[in-house]
Amino acid sequence: METFQALLPGQSVQDIGRRAKFLTITLSESILVFHLRMSGDLRMEPSESPLEKHDRMVLDFTSGWRLSFNDTRKFGRVWLVYDTLAIFAALGPEPDDPALTPAKFHEMLRERKRAIKPLLLDQHFLAGLGNIYTDEALFRASIHPLQSSETLDEQDAARLLEAIRFTLASGIESNGASIDWVYRGGDFQNHFQVYQRSGKPCPRCGQPINKILVGQRGTHFCPNCQKLKGA
DNA sequence: AGGGTAACCCGGACGC
DNA sequence: TGCGTCCGGGTTACCC
């Protein structure tokens, strides 16, 4: 294990924020940016607390508190930057941006010609959806994961945008999903409609949920409720 | 432009 | 019990 010390003398926390799946801690003269990927976790605790297994970075504050970045699978990333432009420049809009109207979303979908699931996962198209939320949102909107984006009409787009917003809000309300031992305290896994429910009955029609591979990602959907249209 | 694939990482699940 | 193998999450790189 290599260790080094990064000193941030005299700097204090000015703000805490989020853009897409990135967390930002704005300091007096620089910005800490975190991406937890799937196994990352941040803890605030007294500096004298024992370190935990897989703690990858710790920040000691003069107040006696410590911020620990724990990441079992080392997938997470941390940057110390002077501005976030380079990291955030290419990101798509936030799903909850009021400027993202159903009409605008429809236009974005029509400009592309790509299977809807990988498109929704593409952070440059729309920022914030991961595999779980994409499957859940497509189910709620009754759209097949392989449906090509430009074939979705205004109503489809409006339904999908609503489903995305609803699904993300539900996940946040549940403190996320704790499907893995690395997540803590989340409850959203108890609200999954399709994700990791292959073979189990669709909550809407009772037909078995199907699982396929789309762009190397496990993809769960109801073949009866989410039919490919116009094919 | 879109897609397919591999890489990163590692603990748990699974099969033998 | 002890192996080996596969899996999956988000993202980028690279190839066709």
pLDDT (tens digit per residue) in A114-168? 999 999 999 999 999 999 999 999 999 999 999 999 999 999 999 999 999 999 9
Domain residue limits, chain A: 2-88, 102-221
Q: How confident is the model at residue A174 (pLDDT cuts 50, 70, 90)?
A: confident
Amino acid at A136: E
What whole-number percentage of chain A has pLDDT above 90? 69
Q: How confident is the model at residue A221 (pLDDT cuts 50, 70, 90)?
A: very high
Span CA (A42) to C1' (B4), Å = 35
Span CA (A2) to C1' (B6), Å = 27
In the predicted model, is pLDDT for residue A2 greater than 60?
no
- The span from the CA of A127 to the CA of A91, in Å, is 6
Same fold, A2-88 and A102-221: no
Amino acid at A227: K
Torsion of CA A92, A168, A136, A160, to 10 degrees: -60
Nucleotides of chain B in contact with protein CB (under 7 A) are 1-12
In the predicted model, is pLDDT for residue A181 greater than 70?
no
Span CA (A78) to C1' (C3), Å = 36
At A22, phi and psi to the nearest 5?
Answer: -95, 140
The pTM assigned to this predicted structure is 0.93
Please, what is the average pLDDT of chain A? 91
CATH of domain A2-88: 3.20.190.10
pLDDT attached to residue A44:
93
> Does residue A82 reach within 7 angstroms of strand B, measured from its CB?
no
Specify the higher pLDDT residue, A8 or A68.
Answer: A68
pLDDT attached to residue A5:
67
**CATH says A102-221 is which class?**
mainly alpha
Q: How confident is the model at residue A220 (pLDDT cuts 50, 70, 90)?
A: very high
pLDDT attached to residue A183:
62
Q: How confident is the model at residue A185 (pLDDT cuts 50, 70, 90)?
A: confident
Cα–Cα distance list, A65 to A58, A161, A200 (Å): 10, 41, 46
First to last CA, chain A: 54
Span CA (A63) to C1' (B7), Å = 41
> Does residue A114 reach within 7 angstroms of strand C, measured from its CB?
no
Q: Point out the residue nearest to B5 (C-alpha to C1').
A: A216
> Does residue A131 reach within 7 angstroms of strand C, measured from its CB?
yes
The nucleotide closest to A72 (CA, C1' atoms): B10
What whole-number percentage of chain A has pLDDT above 70? 94
